[in-house]
Chain A
Amino acid sequence: MSSSSPMEVDSQLPNGSSVVAAAPAAPPPPSKSGKLAESLKLEHQLLRVPFEHYKKTIRSNHRTIEKEVSAVISGVSAAADSELTRDEAVDQLSSLVSRLQGLKRKSEDGSRTEHLQAQKCRARLEHLESAELENMSEWNNTRLKRMLVDYMLRMSYYDTAVKLAESSNIQELVDIYVFLEAKKVIDALQKKKVGPALAWCSDNKSRLKKSKSKFEFQLRLQEFIELVRDDENMQAITYARKHLAPWGATHMKELQRVMATLAFRSNTDCQSYKVLFEEKQWDILADQFKQEFCKLYGMTLQPLLNIYLQAGLSALKTPFCYEDDCTKEDPLSQEAFRKLAQPLPYSKQHHSKLVCYITKELMDTENPPLVLPNGYVYSTKALEEMAKQNNGEITCPRTGLVCDYTEVLKAYIS
C-alpha cells in the first residue's frame, strides 16, 4: 500500500512554470513503528535539560571542593611558614579541621543532589522507552501535558504549571526548577537589577565564553548607562575601567558608542543615543537572557506547544477547512484555529484520498465511490445501506435529490 517516492520539491522556474526537482530520496513512508521512532527523535529537550542541570551541579560541587581543599592546604603551608606560637598553631589547625568537616557535609549533600538529578535523567530515558504502539494514547496524552507545562513555564504561569504537573504526576518529566532559576534573573531584570543576571553569567562562565556570548558585556553596558543617567559620571568612568575595558578588544565599537553617552546625558535628543536610555533596553536584556538560557540548556526558544501547533495546523490546512460545512471534527472548523492557521502554508497531497460525506470512511478500491445523477459522490457502503433501508431509493443528503440505486455510476479514481 505505501508507495516509495523520493521527496520531491516543487520549485518555480523564472518563467513561472513549475519544475519538480528530486531532492535526495527520503526513505519510504514509514510504518507505524517507524513513525513512532521518528516522533521520539523529537524529544531532545526532554533528555538534554535535566542533563545540563546535572552537569552544572557536578561542576559547581567540584569547584567548591577544589576551592576548599586548596584553601586548607594553603592554610597549612601558611601556618608552617609563619612564626606562630604553639597555641596559635593549635587554633589554626583546629579551624582547618572544622572547615574540612563542613566541606565533608557539603560534599555529601552535593552528592545526594547529584544522585537525585541523575535519577531524573534516568526517569526521562525510561519514559521514552515506555512508548509502545499498544499504549500510545496514554503516552500521547502525557506528551501534550508536558508541552502544556512547558508553555506555562515559558509564559510565566507558574502556578498553573505546578498544578498541572502535580495533577498528572509528571513532575519528573518537566523542568519547573530550571525555569524558576531563570525567573529569578528575569524578575530582577524587570526591576532593573543586574545582580542575579551577573551571578548567572559567572556561574556559566566557561559555557558562555565558548559560545562567544556577549551577554555579560551587555549587562555591564546597561549598568554603565544607569550610572550616566543618574549623573554619576566619575563612578561611571571607574565602572567602565573595571568592567567594560576588558571587552574592548572584541567589542570596541559598541564600547565607544556607549562611552559617548557620557557626553550626551539621559535627556539627549540625539536619536541614536536617546534609544540607549530607553526603558525598553531592559526588556531587550530580559529577552537576551531568555535566549542565552535556552541555548545553554538545549531548549528551543519558542514554546514546544507553538512548534507542534504550527506543524499540525499546516499539515491539516486545506481550503475546504474554511468552508461553512466543514466537519466539526476538523480542528480548523473552529474560529480560533482558523485564525492561527491563517498565515501558514496549506498542506499538500500527492495522492487522492476521498472521504465519504455520510460515513466519513475512505472511498477506495474496497469501498469505491459512486456518483449520483447530480454529480454528488458517496461511498458504496453508504449508498448500499441507504438503499437497503429505503427500498432501493437514494436521497442525496446535501441536495435532497431522490433517485434509484440503479441510477448511480461508478467512478474510477486512479
Chain B
Amino acid sequence: MELNSIKDAFDRVTKKQKLSSSKSQEVIEQIGQEIEKAFLRLQSEQDSASPCAHKLILNELKTKLKEIAPLSHLESTQKELNVALSKYPKLLEKSFNPDISKAYRNIDFDIHTVNQIITSHFYREGQFDIGDCFINESQELEAAASKSPFLEMFQILEAMKCRNLEPSLGWAARNHDQLNQNGSDIELKLHRLQFVEILQNRGRDEALKYARDFLAPFATQHMAVFQKLMACLLWAGRLDSSPYAELLSSIHWDKLSVELAQQFCNLMGQSYESPLSVTIAAGVQGLPTLLKLMNVMTGKKQEWQTMKQLPVPVDLDREFQFHSVFVCPVSRDQVSEENPPMLLTCGHVLCKQSITKLSKNNSTRRFKCPYCPAEVEAGQCAQLHF
C-alpha cells in the first residue's frame, strides 16, 4: 500500500482547498471594495449634483459587479476542489479494505460480557480511573470485583519501580505455599535482590542479619545460590568491584518485575497478557484472511453464518499457538477425542481413522506405513497425548 501516493493525493486536495479559500477571500474583498467606493461616492454627493445621480452610481455598481462575476469565479475554483474531493475517497477505497464488517457474523455479543472483559482489561493495565469511570457509565457493577487483585499487583509493581521490595516480599510470604506448589522460586529471588540492596547500601551487619532471617530457609534447596550470596558479604558496600558485580544490574529488577507479575496472575488463575489484547491481536492477524475468504464466498452468505469450522486456515504468529494441533498427513483431518493420533511402530504418526482404513479394520493385518518401507500392525499402534 502506497502511503506516499495517498499523502500526495491529500496534498492535492488541501492545495485546491487553499486556492478556493483565497479565491473566496479575494472575491469578498473585491465586492467589498466596489461597494465601499460607491458608498463613498454617494456620501460625497452633495445637493449640487443632479437628483438622480445616486441612481446612476448604483447602476454603475451593479454593472461593475456583473463584470467581476464573483459567483462564477467561486464556482470554478469550487468545481476543481470538488473533483479532488471526490477523487480522494475513491483512492482510499482502492488502497484500503473499504468494509471490514463484511466478514462479521450476525450474532450479537452479550453487552455485559463484553463490558466485563473491557473492565478487567482496564484494571489489568493499571488504568483504574478509566475502569471506574467505565463501570459508572455502563452500570456494570459486578465487574468492580476484578479491581482489587489488580490494584494490589499494581501497587507492588509500582513499589518495585522505586526499589521498594516490602510489598512484594509480603505478598510472596503470604502465598508461600502456593508458590512452592507451582514450583516458583520467586520468593528466593526477591530476598536475594533485597539482600544485595542491603549489602550495597546498608552495610554488612544488616545484610548478615537479613541472610540469617530470610535466606537461610532457602539454603538447603538452593545451596549454590545461597553460597554465592554469602560470599558477597566479603564485598559489602563495594559489590561493583567484586566478581559478583552483575548482581547490581538493574536488569534483575526488570526481569523480576515481569516474573512477579506472571506469578501473581498465575495465582489468580489469569494470564499474564491481557486476554483482550491477545484476542484483538489475533483478530488483526486473522481478519485479512477472513475478508479475502468472504470475497471468494460471495453468494454463500447462509453458509458463512452457520458454518461450524472455518474452511481455510488463518495464519497466526507463533505466540498464538496455545494448543497442539496434529493434522493427519494422510486424511488431512485434525485429530480429536474421537479420532486421536496414533504412533506407528516405525515412529510415524497417523490418525486412528486413517489406520483403520489402511488396515481394513483388521487389527492384525499388516499394512505399509505411507511414509517409510516399514510394515506395521494396527493393533501395535499406541495412542499419543500431545
Binding site for B on A (CB under 8 A): 7-11, 23-24, 26, 29-30, 35, 37-45, 47-48, 51-52, 55, 58, 62, 65-66, 69-70, 72-73, 76-77, 79-80, 84-86, 89-90, 93-94, 96-97, 100-101, 103-104, 107-108, 111, 114, 118, 121-122, 125, 128-129, 140-141, 143-144, 147-148, 151-152, 155, 157-160, 163-164, 167, 298, 300-302, 304-316, 318-321, 326-331, 333-334, 336-337, 339-340, 343-355, 357, 362-363, 369, 371, 375-377, 398, 409-414
- In whole angstroms, what is the CA distance A304 to B100 when docked? 9
Q: Smallest distance from the beta carbon of B306 to chain A beta carbons, Å?
A: 9
- In whole angstroms, what is the CA distance A37 to B286 when docked? 13
- In whole angstroms, what is the CA distance A150 to B186 when docked? 40
Query: Do residues B92 and A51 form an inter-chain contact, with CB atoms below 8 A?
Result: yes
- In whole angstroms, what is the CA distance A81 to B21 when docked? 32
Per-residue interface assignment for chain B, residues 171 to 202, with 1 indicating a CB less than 8 Å from any chain A CB and 0 otherwise: 00000000000000000000000000000000
Write out the residue numbers on chain A whose beta carbons fall within 8 Å of the beta carbon of B43.
90
- Interface SS of chain B: helix
Query: Do residues B71 and A73 form an inter-chain contact, with CB atoms below 8 A?
Result: yes
Query: Do residues B104 and A310 form an inter-chain contact, with CB atoms below 8 A?
Result: yes
How many pairs of A and B residues are in contact by the CB < 8 Å rule?
392
Q: Smallest distance from the beta carbon of B115 to chain A beta carbons, Å?
A: 8
- In whole angstroms, what is the CA distance A147 to B277 when docked? 11
Per-residue interface assignment for chain B, residues 105 to 117, with 1 indicating a CB less than 8 Å from any chain A CB and 0 otherwise: 1010111011011
Q: Smallest distance from the beta carbon of A227 to chain B beta carbons, Å?
A: 35
Query: Do residues B109 and A309 form an inter-chain contact, with CB atoms below 8 A?
Result: yes
Write out the residue numbers on chain B whose beta carbons fall within 8 Å of the beta carbon of A101.
32
Per-residue interface assignment for chain B, residues 309 to 343, with 1 indicating a CB less than 8 Å from any chain A CB and 0 otherwise: 11111111110111111110100101011000001
Write out the residue numbers on chain B whose beta carbons fall within 8 Å of the beta carbon of A72.
31, 35
Write out the residue numbers on chain B whose beta carbons fall within 8 Å of the beta carbon of A44.
92-93, 96-100
Query: Do residues B280 and A144 form an inter-chain contact, with CB atoms below 8 A?
Result: yes
Query: Do residues B110 and A302 form an inter-chain contact, with CB atoms below 8 A?
Result: no
Question: Could you write out 20 A-B pairs with CB less than 8 Å apart?
Answer: A35-B317, A43-B96, A44-B92, A66-B71, A72-B31, A79-B58, A100-B35, A129-B3, A140-B281, A144-B277, A167-B129, A310-B103, A310-B109, A315-B285, A315-B310, A315-B316, A329-B273, A346-B308, A353-B324, A411-B384
Q: Smallest distance from the beta carbon of B211 to chain A beta carbons, Å?
A: 26
Query: Do residues B78 and A62 form an inter-chain contact, with CB atoms below 8 A?
Result: yes
Query: Do residues B92 and A345 form an inter-chain contact, with CB atoms below 8 A?
Result: no
- Interface SS of chain A: helix
Write out the residue numbers on chain B whose beta carbons fall within 8 Å of the beta carbon of A345.
307-310
Query: Do residues A309 and B42 form an inter-chain contact, with CB atoms below 8 A?
Result: no
